Amino acid sequence: MITVESLTKTYGSFTAVDDVSFTAQPGRVTGFLGPNGAGKSTTMRVMVGLTAPGAGEVRVLGRRFKDLPDPGREVGVLLDASAQHAGRTGREILTIAALTMGLPRTRVDEMLERVSLTPDEASRRVRNYSLGMRQRLGIGTALLGNPQVLILDEPANGLDPAGIRWMRDLLRGFADDGGTVLLSSHLLHEIEVIADDIVVIGNGRIVAQGTKDELLAGAGTLVRSTDGVALATALTAAGITARPTSGGAVLAEAELARVGQAAFAAGIPVTELRAAEGAGLEEMFLSLTAESQRDVTSHTDPEGAAA
Chain residues binding other proteins by CB under 8 A are: 1, 3, 22-23, 25-27, 45, 48-52, 61, 65-66, 68-75, 77, 79-80, 82-88, 92-93, 95-97, 99-102, 125, 127-128, 141, 148, 177-180, 197, 200, 207-211, 214-215, 218, 243, 280-281, 283-284, 287, 291, 305
Give the nearer residue to other proteins in terms of CB position, either 95 or 221.
95
DSSP 8-class letter at 3: E
Least Cβ distance, residue 152 to other proteins (angstroms)? 12
Give the nearer residue to other proteins in terms of CB position, either 69 or 161.
69
Q: Where are the beta strands (DSSP E) in 72-169?
A: 75-78, 149-153
Closest CA to 132 of 159, 155, 152: 159
Least Cβ distance, residue 37 to other proteins (angstroms)? 14
Least Cβ distance, residue 287 to other proteins (angstroms)? 5
Phi, psi torsion values for 148, nearest 5 degrees: -100, -20
Q: Which helix (H) or strand (E) holds 55?
A: strand 55-60
Within 19-62, residue ranges assigned H as helices are 40-47
Give the nearer residue to other proteins in terms of CB position, either 203 or 266.
203
How many C-beta atoms surround the C-beta of residue 129 within 10 A?
22
Closest CA to 58 of 1, 16, 15, 3: 3
Give the nearer residue to other proteins in terms of CB position, either 94 or 266.
94
Give the nearer residue to other proteins in terms of CB position, either 85 or 165.
85
Rounded to an integer, what distance in angstroms lies between the CA atom of residue 150 and that of residue 143?
8
